[in-house]
Amino acid sequence: MTVDVGAVEDFAVGAVTRIVVDRRSIGIVNAGDDFYAVLNVCPHELAPVCEGQLGGTTLPSPPGEVRFGLENRIVRCPWHGYEFDLSQGGRCVLTRFKARLRTFPVTVRDGRVLVELKRAR
Amino acid sequence: MSFSLRHRPGEVGVTIEADALEDVFEQAVAAVRELLGADGEGVGDRLPVLVRGSDVAQLLADFVADLLELADYEQFAAGRVERLQLDDRQVRAALSGRTGGGRDGDDLGLHAFDLRRVGGAWRADFVVTVGRRRAAPPAA
């Protein structure tokens, strides 16, 4: 099921816009050059993860050096602080925490943001 | 090979033990089927699942996550594994089950995942969190 959730300009860059589709709360993220759609549920304790911060995180780097990246692609759960990488299918950045956010494919066509809620068979 | 479910308020702990890794995946399907409690509902169906990951533990975690998503979004309750191809980087499976037998109205989460060798066998542990769906109003 493909859902038209709005025009590109409806979604501010660097923000999570929460919408309700099919009785589900879904966060739409405009990361600047990419859009993401994510279910507003943390896999840990079902927290409203989209109420958390959107930002970046520190990346693997050599000793004595700190690299920051993935800006606007990291969602941080407001309850326990788990960070999820939207560019990696919602995987937790802690590799031992195997859970992931539920994400949905997003396409932009003719200035509209389209979210695919069910997978293609 | 076997699985066990431990029901606690708001979550179900799952433990799977099997000699072969393929059997762990098979038992995961059986465990999720029992956890969802959807036996006998819906119509017979068959769905493919393809999961890619960096290691076998991640593959199993994503496989179980896919089972939960199929139940939630496709109302597909997987019944058994018809075919399974597994290597270090991907698992490809054909699942038979029932569409219309999935779970609706609950949010399902998955965490506390662990897969390890114990005394020559495989043991997987994970927790499925279950809560009533909360559809928040759109942000102002």
Q: Indicate the helix (H) or strand (E) that contains B32.
A: helix B21-36
Contact A48 B47 (CB under 8 A): no
Which residue out of A98, A115, A119 would a mutagenesis test of the B interface target, given it has the greatest number of B Cβ atoms within 10 Å?
A98
Nearest residue of chain A to residue B104 (CA atoms): A23
Q: What is the tens place of the pLDDT at every residue in B5-26?
A: 999 999 999 999 999 999 999 9
Nearest CA distance, B114 vs chain A (angstrom): 8
Q: What whole-number percentage of chain B has pLDDT above 90? A: 62
Q: Which of B65, B73, B107 faces A41 most closely, judged by CB atoms?
A: B107
Q: Which of A40, A48, A98 faces B57 most closely, judged by CB atoms?
A: A98
Tens digit of pLDDT per residue, chain A (121 long)? Answer: 899 999 999 999 999 999 998 888 999 999 999 999 999 999 999 999 999 999 999 988 999 999 999 999 999 999 999 999 999 999 998 777 888 999 999 999 999 999 998 764 5
Residue pair A57/A74 in contact (Cβ under 8 Å)? The answer is yes
Residue pair B63/B91 in contact (Cβ under 8 Å)? The answer is yes
Residues in chain B closer than 8 A to A93 (CB atoms): none
Contact A41 B110 (CB under 8 A): no
Residues in chain A closer than 8 A to B138 (CB atoms): 17-20
Nearest CA distance, A58 vs chain B (angstrom): 20
Q: Which of B111, B113, B135 faces A25 most closely, judged by CB atoms?
A: B135
How many Cβ atoms sit within 10 Å of the Cβ of residue B94? 14
Q: Which of A20, A23, A46 faces B138 most closely, judged by CB atoms?
A: A20
Contact B111 A99 (CB under 8 A): yes
Instruction: DSSP for A59-118, please give it.
Output: E---TT--EEEEEEEEEE-TTT--EEEGGGTTEESSTT---B--EE-EEEETTEEEEE-S
Residue pair A94/A57 in contact (Cβ under 8 Å)? The answer is no
pTM to 2 decimals? 0.87
